[in-house]
Amino acid sequence: MIVTEITMKAFEDGLHRTKSVILPFGSVEEHGLHLPLGTDTFHAYELAKSTASLRPVFVMPPVWYGLCRSTSQHPGTVGITSQSLRVVVMDICKSLYRQGLRNFVLISGHAGGTHMATILDSADTLMEELPDASFAVLSILDLISALPEGMVETKGDSHAGEVETSLVMYLKPDLVSGTSPREFPEFPRYILVRNKRRYWPGGVWGDPSKSSSEKGKLILEKEAELLAELIDKMESLKEE
């Protein structure tokens, strides 16, 4: 059930079928020279909708802004602070709880470490405040790591590389502008840097040349299966 496309009555009726909801998170962030700034959000939202075709589940509209540290100096990246992200997570989930939802799947197409830690910490706090609420917090990279061996050719692919390029080629081919060179940036370990673009000039983490629309379709289908299985597990644990 895509929340923005159903009526008040349909929402109320839907609560008799499921108490589970997917809240997708994304970002407005550079994705190399070839992918749109909304790549993370497109990925998370389309995945949520695909999962809803497999299981009865509510799908919320995506949260477009995320916490972007490593790409903050690249053209087009527009981020928010951890404090802002925390408020957004807390407020939306509390409102959904008041509406009768109990199982919250927070899936992020943007997998930055600080971004994910903020969502996870917010969910932990919410569990203390909301009786009978369950939370799952994961990023697209968690699902990619669970894909069958061989589906992704590029080891360590994570940003604007093989996977994301394949997905955008499948979902929104008109938004792909050529390609970008293979790139695997290396930041100094433990040391914070001021000039982030010096260590990550191209904005790619992976190999876009390995991408295809067919691969994007297969990846999205498998991710949806994995997310549906996670929802099944959440709901079964609540019943025990």
pLDDT in tens, 122-139: 999 999 999 899 999 999
Task: Kindly state whether residue 80 falls inside one of the protein's structural domains.
Answer: yes
pLDDT tens digits along 29-70: 999 999 999 999 999 999 999 999 999 999 999 999 999 999
- Is 190 among the domain residues? no
DSSP letters of 115-173? HHHHHHHHHHHHHHHSTT-EEEEEEHHHHHHTSPTTSS-STT--BSSHHHHHHHHHH-G
pTM assigned to the model: 0.95
Residue 114 lies in a domain: yes
Q: How confident is the model at residue 146 (pLDDT cuts 50, 70, 90)?
A: very high
| pLDDT given for residue 122 in this prediction | 98
Task: Provide the domain limits for residue 143.
Answer: 3-150+221-239
- What is the pLDDT, as a whole number, of residue 237? 85
pLDDT, tens only, 176-227 = 999 999 999 999 999 999 999 999 999 999 999 999 999 999 999 999 999 9
Nearest to 110 by CA among 60, 172, 52, 68: 68
| Tens-digit pLDDT profile for residues 97-120 | 999 999 999 999 999 999 999 999
Q: Which CATH number do you get for residue 76? A: 3.40.50.10310
Contact 12, 51 (CB under 8 A): no
Query: Nearest to residue 104, comparing CAs of 28, 36, 34, 48?
Result: 48
pLDDT of residue 70: 95
Residue 186 placed within a domain: no
Domain contains 7 = yes
Give burial (CB, 10 Å; 0-12/13-18/19+) of 227: buried
Q: Say how many domains are in the chain.
A: 1
Residue 240 reports pLDDT greater than 70: no
- Looking at residue 216, what is its pLDDT? 98
Residue 197 resides in a domain: no
pLDDT band, residue 150 (cuts 50/70/90): very high
Quick check: is 159 in a domain?
Answer: no
**Range 154-176 average pLDDT:** 97
- Residue 144 falls within a domain, yes or no? yes
